[in-house]
Amino acid sequence: MNKQELFENIKRKKSFLCVGLDTDIKKIPEFLLEEEDPIFTFNKAIIDATAPFCIAYKPNLAFYESMGVKGWIAFEKTVNYLKENYPDQFIIADAKRGDIGNTSAMYARTFFEEENLDAVTVAPYMGEDSVTPFLGYEGKWVILLALTSNKGSHDFQLTTDTEGERLFEKVLRKSQEWGNDQNMMYVVGATQGRMFEDIRKIVPDHFLLVPGIGAQGGSLEEVCKYGMTKECGLIVNSSRAIIYADKSENFAEVAGKEAQKVQLQMAEQLKAIL
């Protein structure tokens, strides 16, 4: 899915919502544990209920890897179900990979050849040769960590060099030598508020993947005010606030209603550019 196709999908659905499939076996409704594959059963129900209101899904690999082989099987079944039934959905592997070149090449092969996903999150700390193997796949996206929403982001990302440039700004500037707004996005946490203004000065046209709406307390209005572009330029993720909104047998229906609430808020924000 290229940049224009992504934007067309946003316009069609009046949404830029990404549903995070951070599926924890210890948090899903207990009655699902009787199923042969409770993780996939949960994901399938969540997807069916939320697909009309979102344009992307983001399974977080840690939640699947924590269950070993069974987790990987559930992950693959989830991805295949999305591809077969909702081919318009943008699928992001939230893996945060990034290692020396030959190792990154194997990670890239995993997500772009074997799993055939649209995008993968990548950590830039090891520099160019840890990122460029992911950029060698036409039609695929690297989503580079830039300014995250967690408390510890201040430990490194906001530190400055002798010229006053913050580390996340260096990441944004340097990485544009490797990719462009057709194959690279950036992770920017919703809790960063007006920091989006500084980010847009450096990457005015790139899509941003924005976690932190919902359970982490980020403001959708602030994100849109300071981060939205004429082509939207935002994919806003919500995980726990949607998928764990209810633990009864109606969990999927409630998740769908929560996703719809966010979609309606996004439709209002999109009126400024559509």
Q: Which residues are catalytic?
A: 96
Amino acid at 265: Q
CA 128/CA 82 separation, integer angstroms? 32
Please, are residues 255 and 229 in contact by the beta-carbon 8 Å criterion? no
Q: Which helix (H) or strand (E) holds 25?
A: none
Please, are residues 142 and 122 in contact by the beta-carbon 8 Å criterion? yes
Instruction: Report which of 120, 18, 123, 115 is spatially closest to residue 72, judged by C-alpha positions.
Output: 115
Q: Retrieve residue 261's tokens.
A: 């609430």
Give me the helices (H) in the chain, please: 3-13, 38-50, 61-65, 68-85, 101-108, 128-131, 153-156, 167-175, 195-202, 220-227, 240-243, 251-270
Instruction: Report which of 123, 106, 122 is spatially closest to residue 114, judged by C-alpha positions.
Output: 106
Q: Phi and psi dihedrals of 200, rounded to 5? A: -70, -20
Contacts of 97 (CB under 8 A, 6+ apart): 104, 107, 120, 121, 122, 123, 134
3-state helix, strand, coil in the chain (%, to 5): 50, 20, 35
